[in-house]
Structure 1
């Protein structure tokens, strides 16, 4: 996890090439077999020492690996996958042996069918967003009063994920150069260097700079426009908040589909350079309150605030089921009966 932002910030194209190159059924299976071999001893030890009523995977690289480990036992608990990539889902996510696979969007569902899963194994639920997010959303005036923002100026919120990734600084400066009648809010995340640069710069409009935050529902409720990279969690939260998004960056392969999903559903636009992003902000602001309201309604239609509860219900249902025989012992007995005694050496 610590290497992910470093790689993405320094070699997005390399990440994209690797993502696309490995994104086939056969290559994904081969890579995950290698992961299983390297983790087998510790994985089986963990599964043996921590028996469960249900095993749930929320990481693509652990789906097939964990299932393979569970199949080494005579009986196994139900195995379930919650896909946390939004649209451009990698083949790592899908394994035909899983009992249930919950996906966030229809394109992710279709990708599962291509991988060999059946419709009965899958369901489109939306991406899980913490229930506190929807509960903490409030009206714009109250949110701005809580944050100390100008109550009348349109607010442009900029985020680059928890690590402040992508051309966040360059895009903020491009918006600043437009000298727009707005207030600018930039979330630098854990990127302390970025935060310092933003705080020491001069700005042409009221500008608020924040580090990593835990009050994103309030920030999104107070904003009119979101300028962000195409991360799945941020997009999902923005749609729940009815906050239209200008996407200034996307990780090749992994987030390419997110851009298409947002644009095709009129929840936002793609402006992949600081100049394009700043011009898009200017265009939306020029549409006035009515135009911003239309963009907000389009984004809100994509929101699925109940996804987390639907997923929780599915988890509970699967956890009530009995252990599932793997037929591992029967397969061994059948094999031993077919092999002549003289060739059996144990």
Structure 2
């Protein structure tokens, strides 16, 4: 049944990856917004499109690498950034391995969105093979953009800030468009002091005091315990450590008595409203959620690789200072500055990414509408798409 026959506005597919939580978080929010606009949205996990052993091994290997030998991740990303041919070999290997991807996309899909770099390259391979004529949109989830993110067959790359857009364009990304972060509306500032106090009560935090929310992704990776200890030593601020699914980390923080430790949190918006500052080490989704909650963010003891490149980009954008020493940390926590407000307000004033995706899908469908029933006019679709890209690029 066609999208028109089913009564929906159209069909959009989103390909993410359950590697950590940031890629899936962005995909989930984009899907909810597009569904609210009337689209039928299919979400797919890139890991499911790989051979079973590879799909299971990839996140495990990545987690082990970050926890046991993080310097190797830093080296690998640096090597691939420096040598384009090596990056092309890696992305090509995974694109070939994800050959199942062509079978999961609906025949009348109007746009395919990727929130994971390797997925963008797999989709691009489908396009080159003639198995996909819908446009590919890459949503860049991080503030820094690595070479692996840029897929030559993606018609549009959505960047979260001019800093990210500049990096993407230097890597020859096509049609870079600046959009607001895809963060759910549940992440918002406390409406009043009573709501803030209620949030603290929910998590058993004393009503009086200042709290630094220490986040390290769903895996609790990195020098989290050390960061909590140094925050506690700074005086005046109590660390509240979210350990994610890392139960060993939670137990270590509790034994060390360097702060209040939580495992996996289902209500992060409320916990953020209970705190005064966020200290992060990866620069991913948690940082964007903190900005939406109007919390100042500090980058400290950052993960090698993407953690440090994101910290550098956030610092350059004026969104979150990158703290390098315990002395700098003490000064930053003592100030708990709200200077971030102007920069974060500008961050969320950009156009909605779902609007860009919806508009592109609409123009794709208009290009197909002139074809005979049951067929596709690829040339017409591409003509409409090029016209849309030109107008959108001029507007941005």
- TM-score w.r.t. the length of structure 2 is 0.69
Relative distance call for 1:182 and 1:91 in structure 2 (3 A) is closer
**Paired residue for 1:145, among 198, 206, 219?**
198
Q: Is structure 2 residue 219 aligned with structure 1 residue 166?
A: no
Aligned-partner Cα distance in 2 for 1:15–1:248: 18
For residues 101-137 of structure 1, what are the alpha-carbon distances to aligned partners after superposition, in whole Å with 9 as ceiling and x for unaligned? 211122322233223345xx22111432123223x74
Aligned-partner Cα distance in 1 for 2:63–2:271: 23
Relative distance call for 1:299 and 1:28 in structure 2 (3 A) is farther
Within-5 A mapping of 1:109-148:
109-118=165-174, 121-134=175-188, 137-148=190-201
Give ranges in structure 2 of 5+ residues lacking alignment. 1-18, 20-58, 369-375, 380-396
Secondary structure of 1:186's counterpart equals strand
Q: Is structure 2 residue 248 aligned with structure 1 residue 193?
A: yes
Which residue in the other structure is 1:59 paired with? 116
Higher relative contact order (CA 8 A, sep 6+): 1
**Post-superposition shift, 1:60?**
0.4
Aligned-partner Cα distance in 1 for 2:377–2:78: 36
Q: Is structure 2 residue 241 aligned with structure 1 residue 182?
A: no
Q: Is the CA contact (8 Å cut-off) linking 2:297 and 2:321 kept in structure 1?
A: yes
Which structure has the larger Rg?
A: 1
**Post-superposition shift, 1:69?**
0.8
**Post-superposition shift, 1:299?**
4.9
**Post-superposition shift, 1:169?**
1.1
Secondary structure of 2:142's counterpart equals coil
Q: Is structure 2 residue 5 aligned with structure 1 residue 5?
A: no
Which residue in the other structure is 1:336 paired with? none
**Post-superposition shift, 1:170?**
1.9
Relative distance call for 1:251 and 1:175 in structure 2 (3 A) is closer
Aligned-partner Cα distance in 1 for 2:295–2:200: 17
**Paired residue for 1:282, among 330, 355, 375?**
330
**Post-superposition shift, 1:165?**
1.4
For residues 311-331 of structure 1, what are the alpha-carbon distances to aligned partners after superposition, in whole Å with 9 as ceiling and x for unaligned? 11111112222358667xxxx
Relative distance call for 1:174 and 1:19 in structure 2 (3 A) is same
- Give the count of matched residue pairs: 306
Q: Is the CA contact (8 Å cut-off) linking 2:91 and 2:118 kept in structure 1?
A: yes
Relative distance call for 1:84 and 1:35 in structure 2 (3 A) is same
Secondary structure of 2:122's counterpart equals helix
Q: Is the CA contact (8 Å cut-off) linking 1:58 and 1:82 kept in structure 2?
A: yes
**Post-superposition shift, 1:242?**
2.6
Secondary structure of 1:153's counterpart equals coil
Aligned-partner Cα distance in 1 for 2:147–2:213: 34
Secondary structure of 2:120's counterpart equals helix
**Paired residue for 1:78, among 135, 159, 173?**
135
**Paired residue for 1:105, among 158, 161, 167?**
161
Aligned-partner Cα distance in 2 for 1:112–1:72: 25
Relative distance call for 1:96 and 1:38 in structure 2 (3 A) is closer
Relative distance call for 1:101 and 1:325 in structure 2 (3 A) is farther
Q: Is the CA contact (8 Å cut-off) linking 1:143 and 1:222 kept in structure 2?
A: yes
Which residue in the other structure is 2:323 paired with? 271
